[in-house]
Structure 1
Amino acid sequence: MSDQRTLSTMATSPVRRRAFLGGAAALGVAGLGGAGLFAGTGTAQPASAAAAIPDADQDALDLLQRMLRFDTQNHGQGAKTRKHAEMLREVWERAGVPVEVIDTPQPDNVHLIARIPGTGTAKPLLILGHSDVVPVERENWDVDPFAAEVRDGEIYGRGALDMKGANSATISALLRHLAEGATFDRDIIVLTDCDEEAGSFGSSWLAKNHWDKLDAGAVLTEGGWFLAQDDKTTPMLITATRQDKVYFNLDLTADGTATHSSKPMPDSAVVALSRGVAELGEWQAPVHLTTVTREYFAALADASDDRRFRQAIRLMLKAHSQNALERAAAVMVKRSSYSYLHSALLRTTHAFVIEDAGYKENVIPSSAHVRVNCRAIPGGQKPRDFLAQVRQMMKKRGITVELAVSEGMEEAETLDQLDKTWATPAADVDTDLFEALTASASTTYPDAAFAPALFEAGTSLAPWREKGIPGYGVYPYVIDNEQLVAMHGNNERIYVEALQQGSDFMYGVFKRFLK
């Protein structure tokens, strides 16, 4: 099939790498003045003249700093994104681009849709980027997480990496094209959505209520990592994800005798649960390699400067038994500069995220509970098999393991849904969008390898994937492992120059859709 032929070519003929610090040549110029872009309503009309777009709006760093200064924390029930959306609406209006704010039932929790009219030669391209961010632990940050401070060549802030940085690189690149009077061969829809991190009114709600505004031929969102060599700045591997891991949660509960805390008893629920958590914390699910992950690791081996790391990967890929695979994978992870990422791409992961027990200091509680967030590899171990494995391990400790289900659903129904998601094929690489990502990677990062990949996390792509619309992901800036670990953590940051080069990368992607 064409999918396999394309992947095979990528894996055996990688493009090599060079350092981004010191500069890659920009793919376009910014700040060109001109007449205003046509901003039609109803039937979209293509732009035909350059727009007088301010230089600051075309500057990825300036735009990102403005985004970061809006506190759009999502504590689990959505975020307040209106002010952030209004700022971006003004950016789009200055460029003459039709833009609309979509209110949700939750006050000040809004979506923003900008639509750059094209010639209509092909179905629209949709760019999906969320505006909400996870909460911060302010006391653990070295800087104000909403001040957008630049320190030692890095821009700090909640959302700098995930994913206001990606939004900034994308929007600034499009505005550079519009400033030059570009016309695209299709409409380009830029959706800045809310409730990606949690909440009831995210992309699925929007698709259900406003699909006519979102229908597209392909979608690009967050995902693929641009990894650096051990020196933390030289681009090593540029990836575009074409598949996400399968998200599900388990609830572990231990029971014991509730009594006065002055008389401890041997069946403490807290102790029993702690022992179970300790056992699971030291355990890892089996390694599973799929077509997607094999192609990724093959490209990674070709890209790395670390000889022993390359050898470990190739040994893993040649393993002929599960025992040999496990041993080789362990060596590969140990040698990797991105060990947590690469371990996550090998197996179903389980992370302990919420623990609760007790309600008063002089009462021994009758139960203790922990929520475990899990991510399964499509085509690897099924969620139902992982659940059975964990249940068997915890049974001897008297700990119950339940699959978290939505209200009104049963476990069997939820497992059937997870099986369906697990079996969803990866997005085809034989599309014009994936070809544009490949070509721009070659131009912007000529000495780095490029590969399709699996995203170890999740995205908002479900409404489009359910309709068979191909979706891909990139975080378009080179990062090191410390920056990757800071995602959803403390001192989230990216390199300023990597951000600027990421805008060049996105400029190159959109260049492939010019009329």
Structure 2
Amino acid sequence: MAFLLVASTLSAQPALAQDAAALTPDQQLARDIYRDIIAFRTARGQQQVPAMVAYLVSRFKKAGFSDDDIRVTDYDSEGEKTQGLMVTYRAKPGSTAKPIVLLGHMDVVDALAKDWVRPPFTLTEEEGYFFGRGTDDNKYGITNLTATFLRLKQEGWQPSRDLVLVFSGDEETGMISTRAQAKYVADNIDPEFILNSDAGGIALAEDGTPVAFRVQSAEKTFATYELTVTNPGGHSSRPRSDNAIYELAAALGKIAAYQFPVRATDLTKSYFATAGKLTPGELGQAMLKFAADPSDESAIATLQANPETVGTLGTTCVATMLEAGHAENALPQSATATVNCRIFPGEGAAATEAKLKEVIGNDDVAFKLITDVTESPESKLRDDVKAALRFSLDKRYPGMTILPYMESGGTDGMHYRTLGYDTVALSGAALKASDMFAHGLNERLPVDSFYGGLDHWYWILKKLAE
């Protein structure tokens, strides 16, 4: 999960913890679910996703969902057992409207206790934050959607269309469950549209001032290549002119110096036009200039120099891993670099690989694509979804700007867009830039963001399926 809107950086004030004694039953239920699922180490190599699925199933059954409403499927994800979970909230009899699918993922990037200040798989409330792996990505989304379904069921509410939770089990790794679930959804459910809990959300300035609600409407294509140079090697006392490490280093230097062509779409121009008004200083001015003229060189230079905006301008490729040599006194027989690319929608992985080869200009550098590539189109923010989001937002942040954007990272949503379904991400989280630790050490979510967002999906679903 990722969302960021560059805003004014004032001194941060920690959120105030919710008084446990003052929790409503709905808040207590959500907190209990949050605590319990954080405890499952649903990272690669731990095989804890099935245990988390069993826990969630017990929650849904206790709330009144039947066996027919719940679908658990086993998957082999790169040699490891995982599961996917689907739960259907049935429409009232006679309903004809097409279903809505709601996405989340149960797995997390692993975390080592020795590296964290607090135990990563124990929910800790401290200094106005909930700490733990998955507190943001994506067990907050899982908690929020689950608690909303349980709350609506307890109220006896019947939607005007089927609402289907689809929770994947390996979004952070192979996305095997994601792909299979997407195909099942297309073949058996055929929803009108899809909403994702794993991106977007409320951007706050560092003083806690609400800035905008970001709606993820597109994602860049994720593609990773291994670049390898080989030669016969030899004894280090007899150096060769074609040292594999030097040759690979020269290739990486050319990639580092290359900037892919600047691209702009209606979505990215609209994003910069709105974000520029909300972002102070030189960066905000550059956003506005780029929105008005995507060829403005000064604006491009400013945006490319900022790590938070460079990804919105076009394709990026960056070296992330190196492996070379086999002994300190031997010339390397091979040197390999891993290069990760985030490809702008409309530019394929094949074209990106061809451009990298052209930039390097050395046929001795062998390329290998090591990821399954999914290229997905942009989705439109539908009027009915925007109206439902506005209805929910106005109860929390009246009049907040709604800002569609393109994600530089990737989520389950790309696989549904590829199948032709409008898919947008609408997390209920409210975060400052300094609160974003997804995938990193000491991941956290403000306590007031957790409780403040519990009505988020409740009102969206009420509006879309009343």
TM-score category, normalised to shorter length? 0.7 to 0.9
- TM superposition shift of 1:433: 3.0
Q: Is the 8 A contact 1:118 1:183 kept in 2?
A: yes
Q: Give the Cα–Cα distance (whole angstroms) in 2 for the partners of residues 104 and 242 of structure 1.
A: 28
Q: Is the 8 A contact 2:221 2:343 kept in 1?
A: yes
| 1:226 matches 2:202 | yes
- In the alignment, what sits opposite 2:382? 430
RMSD, aligned CA: 3.0
Q: Please list the CA deviations of residues 186-228 of structure 1 after superposition, one character each: whole Å capped at 9, or x if unmatched.
A: 1111122112122363122234467666432221112224222
Taking a change above 3 Å as real, the CA distance of residues 340 and 151 of structure 1, as seen in their structure-2 partners, is farther
- In the alignment, what sits opposite 2:284? 310
| 1:452 matches 2:427 | no
Taking a change above 3 Å as real, the CA distance of residues 139 and 257 of structure 1, as seen in their structure-2 partners, is farther
Q: Is the 8 A contact 2:248 2:365 kept in 1?
A: no
| 1:178 matches 2:153 | yes
- In the alignment, what sits opposite 2:8? none
- In the alignment, what sits opposite 1:492? 443
- In the alignment, what sits opposite 1:363? 330
- In the alignment, what sits opposite 2:426? 474
- TM superposition shift of 1:449: 1.6
Q: Give the Cα–Cα distance (whole angstroms) in 2 for the partners of residues 153 and 219 of structure 1.
A: 33
Q: Is the 8 A contact 1:244 1:457 kept in 2?
A: yes
Amino acid of the structure 2 residue aligned with 1:64 = Y
Q: Please list the CA deviations of residues 94-131 of structure 1 after superposition, one character each: whole Å capped at 9, or x if unmatched.
A: 21123232222467511111111122341111111111
- In the alignment, what sits opposite 2:59? 91
Q: Give the Cα–Cα distance (whole angstroms) in 1 for the partners of residues 259 and 32 of structure 2.
A: 43
Q: What are the within-5 Å matches in structure 2 for residues 278-293 of structure 1?
A: 278-293=253-268
Q: Please list the CA deviations of residues 398-452 of structure 1 after superposition, one character each: whole Å capped at 9, or x if unmatched.
A: 6525251679xxxxxx8xxx7xx36x3x223235334322432343222532111
Other structure's SS at 2:133 match: coil
- In the alignment, what sits opposite 1:393? 359
- Give the one of 319, 341, 345 matched to 2:293: 319
Taking a change above 3 Å as real, the CA distance of residues 359 and 80 of structure 1, as seen in their structure-2 partners, is farther
Amino acid of the structure 2 residue aligned with 1:112 = L
Q: Give the Cα–Cα distance (whole angstroms) in 2 for the partners of residues 121 and 512 of structure 1.
A: 17
- In the alignment, what sits opposite 1:512? 463
Q: Give the Cα–Cα distance (whole angstroms) in 2 for the partners of residues 347 and 138 of structure 1.
A: 37
Other structure's SS at 1:375 match: strand
Q: Is the 8 A contact 1:174 1:510 kept in 2?
A: no
Q: Structure 1: any 5+ residue segments left out of the alignment?
A: 1-18, 24-28, 32-53, 408-413
Q: What are the within-5 Å matches in structure 2 for residues 232-251 of structure 1?
A: 233-251=208-226
Taking a change above 3 Å as real, the CA distance of residues 104 and 151 of structure 1, as seen in their structure-2 partners, is same
Amino acid of the structure 2 residue aligned with 1:272 = E
- In the alignment, what sits opposite 2:7? none
Other structure's SS at 1:490 match: coil
Q: Give the Cα–Cα distance (whole angstroms) in 2 for the partners of residues 406 and 155 of structure 1.
A: 34
- TM superposition shift of 1:30: 5.5
- TM superposition shift of 1:174: 3.0
Task: State the percentage of identical aligned residues.
Answer: 24
Q: Structure 2: any 5+ residue segments left out of the alignment?
A: 1-12, 18-22
Amino acid of the structure 1 residue aligned with 2:65 = V
- In the alignment, what sits opposite 1:329? 300
Other structure's SS at 1:340 match: coil
Other structure's SS at 2:98 match: coil
- In the alignment, what sits opposite 1:4? none
Taking a change above 3 Å as real, the CA distance of residues 320 and 64 of structure 1, as seen in their structure-2 partners, is closer
- In the alignment, what sits opposite 2:85? 112
- Give the one of 109, 115, 128 matched to 1:153: 128
- In the alignment, what sits opposite 1:68? 38
- In the alignment, what sits opposite 1:100? 71
Other structure's SS at 1:182 match: coil
Q: Give the Cα–Cα distance (whole angstroms) in 2 for the partners of residues 209 and 472 of structure 1.
A: 19
Other structure's SS at 2:174 match: coil
Q: Is the 8 A contact 2:132 2:444 kept in 1?
A: yes
Q: Give the Cα–Cα distance (whole angstroms) in 1 for the partners of residues 73 and 154 of structure 2.
A: 26
Q: Give the Cα–Cα distance (whole angstroms) in 2 for the partners of residues 216 and 495 of structure 1.
A: 33
Taking a change above 3 Å as real, the CA distance of residues 462 and 333 of structure 1, as seen in their structure-2 partners, is closer
Other structure's SS at 1:97 match: coil
Other structure's SS at 1:315 match: helix
Q: Give the Cα–Cα distance (whole angstroms) in 1 for the partners of residues 450 and 349 of structure 2.
A: 36
- TM superposition shift of 1:146: 0.9
Q: Give the Cα–Cα distance (whole angstroms) in 2 for the partners of residues 210 and 377 of structure 1.
A: 26
Taking a change above 3 Å as real, the CA distance of residues 431 and 317 of structure 1, as seen in their structure-2 partners, is closer
Q: Is the 8 A contact 1:79 1:194 kept in 2?
A: no
